[in-house]
Amino acid sequence: MSRGRSQPDSPASGRCPLDTRGWDEPGRRDDTKPFSCELGNACVGQGDLVMTDHKTGQVGLVAVVWGVDFSMRELLRDVLLLQPGWSRENTPAMQERGRLIRHEVARWLREQLPTIAENTPGVDDWQVEARDGTGLKNEIPWARVYSASRSPSATVGWYIVYLFGAQGDRVYLSLMQGTTRWENGDLHARPAAELRQRAQWARENLLPILRRRVDLVEQISLKARKSQLGPAYEAGTVAAFEYALDRLPGNEVLANDLQFLASTLEYLYHLAAQAIDLPGDLPPEVVDALVTAERSAGKTRKGQGLRLNSAERTAIERQAVTVAMHYLTTEGFAVTDVGATQSYDLDARRGGQHLFVEVKGTTSAWNGTSEIILTKNEVDLHEREYPNNMLVVVSHITLDRSVTPPSASGGELHVMHPWRILPPNLTPVTYRYVVGE
């Protein structure tokens, strides 16, 4: 039996095996159907059938083999040959493409997982996912290998993925990233510039590993005609193996390339977990607050640790307060640090003016979508004291982890006075709930 394919009739039966999937019988042309076979009685039931797309005139090959397991090389070829006939509708060709992607290609990838797991002890939750479009069909189908905890969906995290070119001329095995990010509790598409910046960060940190393979490429070209995801996939790629349709390698090479990128991805997961700041990510203190909130609710994710330890957070907070106090002092205020006893950080007085000052520090860059963490008491106080309040954010603080205790220096000052807290900008992180009738 062929892998995952229903056993077809033999040629002697007078039926083409593709007929069960809506194709014409050999020797017959039906222009009401999207495809027909050109071999006619020359079909011997094994090899390549020449199929014509009557909408586009595109001629392609569809492999049909009885009693032989399909290799990954053949599966990649079959998907590529169907790509020029892409349609958003669930045509017979797209049905066949979906079956190949979601079942055959995914099956081969799952067969590689035991070896991948053996060679990557730092990851114990490898999984496979393959998609060609739910409802309307995607122009760029894909199949990925990923850590379930570090990349719970294809929109987030880092993973390895087969990406099939829109024109069917090539397929890539790409080390890439999710193309969305969390903002105010929702997923938003990352700008292409941000994706390229993140890919470059990974490339630079993985350089000693990536340079071992001279056949890797940094740029991919999917030649998407309609899909907006094609350019996002291109921007998000760190490195990839490129396989042209007429030079597809055999199973051994494909398996070795997959193993290499899996080991590279394992190290990338380690780097991402250790990094204080990743381009385009939430500030580390926000990430840590979300992780802590999940842990307090009994939700612990593998691979999702705290970016900062207690000593590092203290060093950043103290540097932010130092910068804020210097600013307020130069503005003529008498400043007292009250953070240890009050729900605000600095008490600033100048003549008859009294300001309640909130101070936040971060190692991250600052922009119009940046976020900070506030407690309920802080929100309540600043809503009550407005307009006699101020928010001071010190961004781009430099953290030195090489000394004990860690030290912090520098920073860019951002001042909002008066500071009005806008309810739509607040996102709940956790709730307390009284259980009862």
Determine contact, residues 102/132, Cβ cutoff 8 Å.
yes
Residue 72 φ/ψ, nearest 5 degrees: -65, -35
The 10s digit of each residue's pLDDT in 57-90 is 444 444 443 333 459 999 999 999 999 999 999 9
Q: What does CATH list as the number for 310-425?
A: 3.40.1350
Nearest to 48, CA basis, from 67, 60, 69, 62: 62
Q: How far apart are CA 210 and CA 214, in angstroms?
A: 8
Percent of residues in the chain assigned helix, strand, coil, to nearest 5:
35, 25, 40
Residue ranges in the chain modelled with pLDDT below 50: 1-69, 303
* The predicted structure's pLDDT at residue 273: 82
- Amino acid letter for position 25: E
272 three-class SS: helix
> Given its phi and psi angles, is residue 57 left (phi above 0), alpha (psi -120 to 50 degrees) or beta?
left
Determine contact, residues 304/320, Cβ cutoff 8 Å.
no
Q: How far apart are CA 423 and CA 368, in angstroms?
A: 16
* The predicted structure's pLDDT at residue 102: 95
CB within 8 Å of 240: residues ≥ 6 apart: 163, 172, 173, 174, 175, 176, 216, 217, 218, 220
Nearest to 364, CA basis, from 320, 337, 395: 395
CB within 8 Å of 11: residues ≥ 6 apart: 26, 43, 44, 45
Q: How far apart are CA 68 and CA 334, in angstroms?
A: 84
The 10s digit of each residue's pLDDT in 289-345 is 877 877 887 776 554 567 788 899 999 999 999 999 999 999 999 999 999 999 999
Q: How far apart are CA 165 and CA 245, in angstroms?
A: 10
Q: How far apart are CA 316 and CA 397, in angstroms?
A: 7
Give whole-number Cα distances, 303 to 124, 179, 204, 270, 308, in Å.
10, 20, 22, 8, 14
Tokens of 211: 């340079």
Determine contact, residues 361/397, Cβ cutoff 8 Å.
yes
Give 416's Cβ-side CA count (13 Å radius): 12
Q: How far apart are CA 258 and CA 43, in angstroms?
A: 35
* The predicted structure's pLDDT at residue 431: 86
pTM of the model: 0.66
* The predicted structure's pLDDT at residue 206: 97
89-274 has which fold?
Metal Transport, Frataxin; Chain A (3.30.920)
Domain positions in the chain are: 1-69, 89-274, 310-425
CB within 8 Å of 267: residues ≥ 6 apart: 206, 209
Tokens of 400: 């030195």
Nearest to 9, CA basis, from 74, 64, 49, 91: 64
Q: How far apart are CA 348 and CA 336, in angstroms?
A: 7
Residue 272 φ/ψ, nearest 5 degrees: -65, -35
Tokens of 154: 């294809």
Tokens of 264: 């590279």
Residue 241 φ/ψ, nearest 5 degrees: -95, 135
Q: In 369-433, which ranges are E strands?
A: 389-395, 398-400, 407-409, 412-416
Matching residue, tokens 């977990």: 273
255 three-class SS: helix
